[in-house]
Amino acid sequence: MRFLSSLYSLSVFSSKPHPFNSIFTPLLNHLHISFIHCETHSTQQTLLFMDASEETLRKTLTEKQNSVTTQANVVRNLKGAKAAKSEIDAAVEALNALKLEKTSIEQQLQAVLNSDGSGNSLNREAFRHAVVNTLERRFFYKPSFSIYGGVAGLYDYGPPGSAVKSNVLAFWRQHFVLKENMLEVDCPCVTPEVVLKASGHVDKFTDLMVKDEKTGMCYRADHLLKDFCKEKLEKDFSLPVEKIADFKHVLAVLDDLSTEQLGAKIKEYGITAPDTKNPLSDPYPFNLMFQTSIGPSGESTGYMRPETAQGIFVNFNYLYYYNGNKLPFAAAQIGQAFRNEISPRQGLLRVREFTLAEIEHFVDPSDKSHRKYGEVVDLEFLMFPREEQMAGNQAKRTRLGDAVSKGIVNNETLAYFIGRVYLFLTRLGIDKERLRFRQHLANEMAHYAADCWDAEIECSYGWVECVGIADRSAYDLNAHSAKSGVALDAHEKLQEPREIEKLVIAPMKKELGLEFKGNQKKAMNEKEAMEMKATLESKGEVEFHVCTLGKAVTIKSSMVSISIEKKKEHQRVFTPSVIEPSFGIGRIIYCLFEHSFYTRPSKAGDEQLNVFRFPSLVAPVKCTVFPLVQNQEYENVAEQISQSLTGSGILHKIDITGTSIGKRYARTDELGVPLAITVDSSSSVTIRERDSKEQIRVGIDEVAAVVKAVTEGQSTWTDIQQRYPAHSSTAVDE
């Protein structure tokens, strides 16, 4: 799966409130404004997709600016004519009033541009800063090699981040590999050039780059153009309607712009290098793969893989045999992938080394039904088909079965994986109201793809593609078959033999060998063979170019026999199609961080406390154990509980620092720990739930069982509360 940035929408915050109990509640509400790719573009078409209040305010602002200019000329003329002071003062007062009205309209327009559609003011950057600051301070992740200044696009996961990532991957294996009985493989990161040449990566895996003509600093061309247009739309209130239409059109068709068109727009808008304001070079393609040499001679070129899928494709024959030569089956791989991003940004969303989890589901192209389709057919979630995008509409809640029956989703197997991806993401903790499945537009689709959908998650950066689910047809297996000369086919035994016509080429090795000098291999398609046959029959010989010899040789009719024979076929040989779900793990985790983050006031009300409400499934630590005070007896009990938790396979932490219980609770809430055990006696303890802050009292011997039941989903916290007495303590400073 290739994670390509496609801007078919400009995401700002929307009207639907999100369940955050904090001052950041309004910060994660989004409004999605869609733009169409039109063959012919007009101002009227663009304005159809401008918010009505924005359009009205921009027109009013233009009129008011004209009034200010007119009144300023009046003041200037009165002063030049040395009019009476009272007359000049009245004109100046009118000018100031117009300026105040203009400022008020600007503020209203700014509020519309930065609002959720319901009047709530937004500050995405402030929310993101709060999240990222917490993540980095608690070492969920950090920029790599920071003591040496760091390297853009590379990040280290600290202990809690590594634990969250491990838990996400463990659930991915459980949800997909185990549930679907997939065949998991582990292939090298270093890939020979010939493999990536066949897949198209060597020639086509590029982004357009521009350089600062004086310093040589590199930038991604489409990012510069996108940032320029967005900044103008959001901050320049004096833009005429025609210019607004132009900028929005560019954003809508950004991915369709050719190299020349992209360069022309950069020059038209006068875009310069962001850091130095120096002029920029014309755009040119830059291959995103890290190139390396295999072996000491340096003659064998390799690349760090940009995706994990190719290792599965080249092993198809072995996997097919391992699966008993039966279709359908799926192979999966989790591993590192590498992309030499031109200008990495947006934290974990665009990096140079990242973890992919990919599935290649091989299926008969003539039968893309799925035996488990019934398990997902009634799921309903936000879907954004290409027709809705082209019409400028919003994503709508759709029943998956209806999408298939109406032909919106191409086939059952593709739909099945869309449904499974939805269940995976929502069970991780992704907000279902900020998750949608967007179908690729026609201009996004690869020529070989039958259908493709992206699972997009909304965060403070907008809608982010995190999973791609594509029907890639038989492209990959065909490409590797053609390049390697090894057939990557499947076989189906026919119930009744069928008669077919088959091309048979029989070389006369003795005579052919003299002319070919031992190199007798030359691939021909059926058309070439039949043309040769006709020429041999009419002329007795033919000139034939042999690439391995680098020259043409004369083939005589005595050297080869070419015929069409009728044969009975007992099996059907075909190349399987591939349904490919591909998961960007880092992107999913970052969106999970944002969706899980909220703040709540301290008991004193003098500060906001950060909380990650991770589901127990992904929480980095399942519970903490706190002796209420520094007391040897309590510490012994804490150690006893720790041993029972370890025996039950529950990851936990003991905190015996002398700080207050309230502060220790706050520290673990900030790590997203679901349960906290406080040792306040030698016979029983309290267990506190993170989000409700409610507590129950449990006997020491039962602690591990209770924690295990809650954190593994065997019981809910509500269930547990009904079985154990509640506990309240006014001494705990929350």
| pLDDT: which is higher, 250 or 148 | 148
Per-residue pLDDT band for 544 (boundaries 50, 70, 90) equals confident
pLDDT value at residue 150: 92
Residue 704 lies in a domain: yes
pLDDT: is 497 or 352 the higher one?
Answer: 352
| Same domain? 639 vs 704 | yes
Q: Which of 410 and 515 is assigned the larger pLDDT?
A: 410
Q: Domain with 91 in it: what CATH number?
A: 1.10.287
* Chain length of the chain: 734
* pLDDT at position 678: 95
Confidence band (pLDDT; 50, 70, 90) for 9? very low
pLDDT band at 234 (very low <50, low <70, confident <90, very high): confident
Scan for tokens 């014309």, then name that residue. 282
Q: Is 297 part of any domain?
A: no
Binned at pLDDT 50, 70 and 90, residue 568 comes out as confident
Contact 404, 349 (CB under 8 A): no
Residue 79 lies in domain: 50-117
The residues facing 34 across adjacent strands are 9
Summarised one tens digit per residue, pLDDT across range 339-396 is 999 988 889 999 999 999 999 999 999 999 999 999 999 999 999 999 998 887 889 9
Residue 14 pLDDT > 70:
no
Tell me how far apart the alpha carbons of residues 330 and 491 are, in angstroms, rounded to a whole number.
16
Q: Work out the pLDDT band at 106, boundaries 50, 70, 90.
A: confident
User: For residue range 207-217, what is the model confidence (pLDDT) as tens digits?
Assistant: 999 999 999 99
Of 512, 538, 573, which residue is a domain's last?
573
Give me Rg for the CA atoms of the chain. Answer: 33
User: How many helices, marked H, and strands, marked E, lie in the chain?
Assistant: 23, 31
pLDDT the model gives residue 49: 39
Is 557 within 8 Å of 537 (Cβ atoms)? yes
Domain boundary among 117, 142, 165: 117
553 and 625 in a single domain? The answer is no
Residue that terminates a domain, selected from 573, 603, 629: 573
Same domain, yes or no: 628 and 717: yes
* Max Cα–Cα distance, the chain, nearest Å: 116
**Residue 599: inside a domain:** no
Mean pLDDT of the region 539-559: 74
Q: State the pLDDT confidence band at 518, using cuts at 50, 70 and 90.
A: low
pLDDT (0 to 100) of residue 114: 63
Mean local confidence (pLDDT), 83-88:
90
CB proximity list for 570: less than 8 A, separation 6 or greater: 493, 494, 497
**Whether residue 567 sits in one domain with residue 657:** no
User: Does residue 142 have a pLDDT over 50?
Assistant: yes
- The pLDDT mean for the chain works out to 85
pLDDT for 39? 30
Kindly state the average pLDDT of the residues 471-481: 94
Q: Over the range 619-646, which residues count as b (16 or more CB within 10 Å of their CB) and which as e?
A: bbbbbbbbbbeeeeebbebbebbbebbe
Are 496 and 564 found together in one domain? yes
- Residue 118: per-residue pLDDT: 41
Among 73-87, 497-511, 620-634, whose mean pLDDT is lowest?
497-511
Query: One-letter amino acid identity for 292?
Result: T
CATH number at residue 711: 3.40.50.800
**Residue 61 predicted with pLDDT over 70:** yes
Report yes or no: 712 and 623 within 8 Å, Cβ to Cβ: no
Residue 478 lies in a domain: no
* Model confidence pLDDT, tens digit, residues 681-712: 989 999 999 999 999 999 999 999 999 999 99
Residue 211 lies in a domain: no
Residue 456 has pLDDT above 90, yes or no: yes
- Quick: pLDDT tens for 591-600: 999 999 999 9
Please name every residue paired with 574 in a beta bridge, in sequence order, or none if there are none.
Answer: 490
| Least reliable range by pLDDT among 89-103, 133-147, 263-277, 518-532 | 518-532
Answer yes or no: is pLDDT of 48 > 50: no
CA–CA distance, 646 with 280 (Å, rounded to integer): 59
Place of tokens 């802050």: 693
Higher pLDDT: 315 or 443? It is: 315
Tokens of 709: 């039941």
Residue 172 maps to a domain: no
pLDDT class of 610 with cuts at 50, 70, 90: very high
Contact (Cβ atoms closer than 8 angstroms) between residue 542 and residue 554: yes
**Total number of domains constituting the chain:** 3
Secondary structure class of 171 (helix, strand, coil): helix
Mean pLDDT of 11-28: 34
